[in-house]
Amino acid sequence: MIGRMTEMATPEVEWATTWSGVGDTAFRELMSVFPSGVTVVTAQDSDGTPYGLTCTSVCSVSLRPPILLACLHNHSQTLAEILRQGAFAVNLLHEDGRQAAEVFATPGQDRFAAIEWERTPQNGLPWLVSDAHAVAECSVVEATVAGDHVVVFGQVDGVLNRPRNPLMYGMRSYAAWTSN
């Protein structure tokens, strides 16, 4: 019946922690068992220098207008450039994009020197041409602080799409999506 909740019997569950006391380790464990697609979010500064990071916290928000969100650590240089420039790209990695995912997840290196990339045709944003089966060019419409991350909402201005099996991440490992 719609609009009516019924009480159901709940099996006895032993909780690892209390609701109010969930720590970093318990939360990481929880999220590790929820697989997601792997993306590299990219941006550039006013001189055209590219920035990017691996991100699994991306999802669609709205169809009309087309809006997606990405959650980025609030100390990220990529985030700083996204907010300064008002634009970013979301590169959806395909099954052979694991190296790119690992490169952009590792701090302290020139990430773009290790990966083949070009600029998107519409807005000139960094596009991982060999590792991404699709890329969305986005304009920032809103950004909201959420704990140690910032949720950036981007209106999708352009899309390039070459469908392949996507790269997934879950259970602390990479895998390709396979269809039956």
- Using the predicted structure, report yes or no on whether residue 63 has a pLDDT greater than 60: yes
Nearest to 86 by CA among 149, 145, 139, 40: 139
Q: Sketch the domain layout of the chain as residue ranges.
A: 36-176
Instruction: Give me the chain's average pLDDT, please.
Output: 88
Task: Please provide the CATH number assigned to the domain covering 36-176.
Answer: 2.30.110.10
Sorting pLDDT into bands at 50, 70 and 90, what band is 35?
confident
Nearest to 138 by CA among 101, 85, 100: 85
The single-letter DSSP state of residue 174 is E
Q: What confidence tens digit (pLDDT) does each residue in 130-176 have?
A: 999 999 999 999 999 999 999 999 999 999 999 899 999 988 888 89
Sorting pLDDT into bands at 50, 70 and 90, what band is 20?
low
Residues 96 and 131: their CA atoms lie apart, in Å, by: 7
